[in-house]
Amino acid sequence: MKFLLALLLLVVTQSFSFAQKDEAVVIMIDPGHGGSDPGHESVNKNHLPEKELNLIIAKKVGDYLSTKVDNVTIIYTRTTDIYLSLDQRVELANSKKVDFFISIHCNGNPDTKINGTETHVHSMSSKKSVKLAREIEKDFRTKAGRKSRGVKDTDDREHTLQVLKFTEMTSVLVECGFLTNPKEAAYLNTTSGQDIIASAIYRGIKNYLKTENGSQTAEKPVAAKENPKEKPAEEGSWTVQIMSSKEWMDTEKGNFKQLSQPVKREQVAQTGYKYIYYSGNFTSVEAAKKYRDEVKKNGFTDAIVVQKK
Ligand SMILES: [Zn+2]
């Protein structure tokens, strides 16, 4: 169906004779690790391991791209929790002759203070990859409000990354944040955090396509508004994430009842700390911080301010 739609769109665009290429732009999204390889573990043992976060974020990026940008085809290296070697990932990308390869990872470091996003390329001389990486980091910094550690190449990290070195197309590896940093790990384990990260990656790719591919990949005008992170800070765009739990908890009971604002529970996963509790609705981050302090005083010491979806 999608193929048919893409074909139809091509017929339409060709009548204006600016399609330079007869196929859609093909983007391979590679959720890092999987199966027996969990990737980095969070400082909080009850958080999801890197492999699961990578998959969640990767699917969100793919969904955004396929629903909001015309004429793109999304292929994943994996959509379930399976193990794939680095060679297999490279082989998949090269054999399918995709236009872009985007690998999604979360970082780790023995120093738990280190936090922020990074986008990796093989070499600073790979102009297109560097440009794409810069677009993604720019969105992390400006729209998602994350700390960007910038674009890194082989020299910066002092080792090569196989999926970047051997893939024959524009390729980047995105590190969405450090699971070894308690605050960032908590953020990456929230649905809103995952949404914000995914939409920044999506927007970076979209902006790159806009300038590099021009009319070939037009943004879908109506759907673009649905992107939550493109909304300006409007009424009630901030909330306080109170805590997460493995078990279902009654939001009308216990310490929740002491809070001045109602508490909302959201299920974010099937296992582990699957429920997250939010409270409050604020127009400014300052107001949300004030309320967070109240929440903390009521015994929820891990409470943080988050942007609503
Ligand atoms: Zn990784």
Rounded-to-10 torsion of CA 56, 206, 68, 276: 30
Q: Report if pTM > 0.95.
A: no
Q: How far is the CA of 105 from the centre of ligand 1 (A)?
A: 4
| CATH 3.30.420.40 for domain 23-228 | no
- Kindly list the domain boundaries of the chain, sorted by start residue: 23-228, 232-307
| 191 backbone φψ class: left, alpha, beta (φ>0; ψ -120 to 50) | alpha
pLDDT 10s digits, 109-140: 999 999 999 999 999 999 999 999 999 999 99
Q: Is the pLDDT higher at 225 or at 208?
A: 208
Find the 24 Cα to ligand 1 centroid distance in Å: 29
Instruction: Indicate whether 14 pLDDT > 70.
Output: no
From ligand 1's centre to the CA of 306, what distance in Å? 24
Question: How far, in Å, from the CA of 50 to the mean position of ligand 1?
Answer: 7
Token pair, residue 48, equals: 């999801």
Rounded distance, CA 32 to CA 107, Å? 11
Cα 252 to averaged position of ligand 1 atoms, centre (Å): 39
Residues 143-154: tens digit of each pLDDT = 999 999 999 999
Better-predicted residue by pLDDT, 1 or 254: 254
**Is the pLDDT score of 188 beyond 50?**
yes
Identify residue 191 by its one-letter amino acid code.
T
Fold for domain 232-307?
A: Alpha-Beta Plaits (3.30.70)
CA dihedral 157, 163, 165, 167 (to 10 degrees): -150
User: Which has more confidence, 255 or 51?
Assistant: 51
Report CA(51)–ligand 1 centroid distance (Å): 7
34 Cα to the center of ligand 1, angstroms: 10
